[in-house]
Structure 1
Amino acid sequence: MMGDNPALPVMPDRPTLADFFRLRLAQDRFTALHLIHSARRARDLDLGDTVVTACLLHDIAVGGLLRSHHGHWGAQLVAPYVSEEIAWAIRQHEILRFFPDPAVGYDYPDAYNAFFGPDYRPPGHVRRAYRDVRAHRWYMTARLITLNDVYTFDFDPAEEIDISEFEDTLGRCFRQPREGLGFDGSPVAHMWRTMIWPNNFL
Structure 2
Amino acid sequence: MNERVAFRQMKDGTADEYLLLRRLEEPFLKRTADRLLSELRRQQNETLEGYRITRYEHALQAATRAMREDAGDDWVVAALFHDIADGIAPQNHDRAAAEILRPFVSAEVCWVVEQHGLLQTYYYGHHYGWDRHARERFREHPYYQLAVDFCEKWDQASFDDEYVSESLQTFEPIVRRVFARPTYGD
**Counterpart contact for 2:89–2:96, Cα < 8 Å:** yes
Partner of 1:122: 131
Does 1 or 2 have the higher relative contact order (CA < 8 Å, sep 6+)? Answer: 1
CA, structure 1 residues 47+169, in 2 after alignment: closer, same or farther (shift >3 Å)?
Answer: same
Do structure 1's residue 69 and structure 2's residue 92 form an aligned pair? Answer: yes
Counterparts of 1:86-105 in structure 2, within 5 Å, are: 86-99=109-122
Aligned-residue offset at 1:162: 4.8
Match for 2:86: what amino acid?
A: V
**Counterpart contact for 1:51–1:144, Cα < 8 Å:** no
Match for 1:149: what amino acid?
A: D
Aligned-residue offset at 1:165: 0.6
Going by fraction, where is helix more abundant, 1 or 2?
Answer: 2
Counterparts of 1:1-202 in structure 2, within 5 Å, are: 14=31, 16=34, 17-22=36-41, 24-29=42-47, 30-63=54-87, 65-99=88-122, 108-109=123-124, 116=128, 120-122=129-131, 127=134, 130-132=136-138, 134-147=139-152, 148-155=154-161, 162-175=167-180
Aligned-residue offset at 1:52: 1.9
**Counterpart contact for 2:112–2:146, Cα < 8 Å:** yes
Any gaps of 5 or more consecutive residues in structure 1?
A: 1-12, 100-107, 178-202
Aligned-residue offset at 1:88: 1.1
Q: Deviation above 4 Å: which 4+ runs of structure 1? A: 159-162
- SS of 2:131's partner is coil
Partner of 1:188: none
Query: TM-score, normalized by length of structure 1?
Result: 0.58
Any gaps of 5 or more consecutive residues in structure 2?
A: 1-27, 48-53
1:39-97, Cα deviation, whole Å (9 max, x unpaired): 1012223333332222111111113x111122112112222333322221101111211
CA, structure 1 residues 130+172, in 2 after alignment: closer, same or farther (shift >3 Å)?
Answer: farther
Aligned-residue offset at 1:146: 0.7
CA, structure 1 residues 49+167, in 2 after alignment: closer, same or farther (shift >3 Å)?
Answer: same
Query: TM-score, normalized by length of structure 2?
Result: 0.62
**Counterpart contact for 1:75–1:90, Cα < 8 Å:** yes
Aligned-residue offset at 1:20: 2.1
